[in-house]
Structure 1
Amino acid sequence: MDPLQAAVLQQFFEYPFEIDQTYQQGLAGILANNPSNTVLLNTRVFYFNRLTGSSITVADVLAYKEQSASASESVPPSNSAANDSKEQPNVLTFAQLQELIESGRLDEIPNNKTISGELNSAPPSQSAVSVRRKPWETSNDSSNIMES
């Protein structure tokens, strides 16, 4: 394997996907439709490539992971599968979300924020731009030309 590609793949495995808010927000929408580990890996590879300008593939990641696992027997495969399932955020189906809302358990909805119901107390800003003239509104100069 190319040393440069191996370094990029090592960087991929060290990237903190779990705490990257942009990645997590996009992932929640994707996993709502297809919550599989294959989709999770595809999203990570796509996001990592876009973020770093790399061009690794899912096949590269799997080959590197297999190569690393065979080189170091320190992590059994069952533990890595358990870690993958722990990394997935709790994604609710529409029916689950509806049930939580109807039963008033809003605190159990992931990423739910309470928004204040009061209006902004600051006075509205004043426009500094003049009103745009309409196409049929002409200046005095052009109206004189049209009347002649």
Structure 2
Amino acid sequence: MEFVVESSAETAKLAQLLASFVTAGDVILLEGDLGAGKTTFTKGFAAGLGIHGNVKSPTFNLIKEYHQGRLPLYHMDVYRLEGVGGADLGLEEYFNGTGVSVVEWPQFVAEDLPAERLTIKINKSKRNTEKRLLEFIPIGAHFVAECQQLAKVAAKNGIKPS
């Protein structure tokens, strides 16, 4: 399933809608180049969980936890683990925990990821600096159902799958 969003605000809105029905243990992987909108997506997602405040990429911390929302949010930026992996970080404790994990640059910890997950590829438009193509790739029945629900809710909010 794909969405074309026209602005960073629309990216955040789509993420906010997704966050409204995710469940504990969900793992969401964000792929995209630098500046594609991964952190913008995560900020909107956090808002959808009821987490307000300064949500930013945990580039130097690797993992930032937010506990003030409907579910805890475990925001991971594993860019610095290229060539190293995350075997010693205990990522499975987060993935199997009581919150939702959002992982930026997941390819650097591919061997540590759960089998079932939702990958979101964010691609910048070559012509419009604000426009993005978000491709949702669910693995597992749970994530397929979440994507179907997102398509319905997003359409009601003026964001239709392409």
Report the TM range for the smaller structure's normalisation: under 0.3
* Larger helix percent: 1
TM-score where L is the length of structure 2: 0.20
Q: Taking CA–CA contacts closer than 8 Å with sequence separation of 6 or more, which of the two structures ends up with the larger relative contact order?
A: 2
* Larger strand percent: 2
TM-score where L is the length of structure 1: 0.22
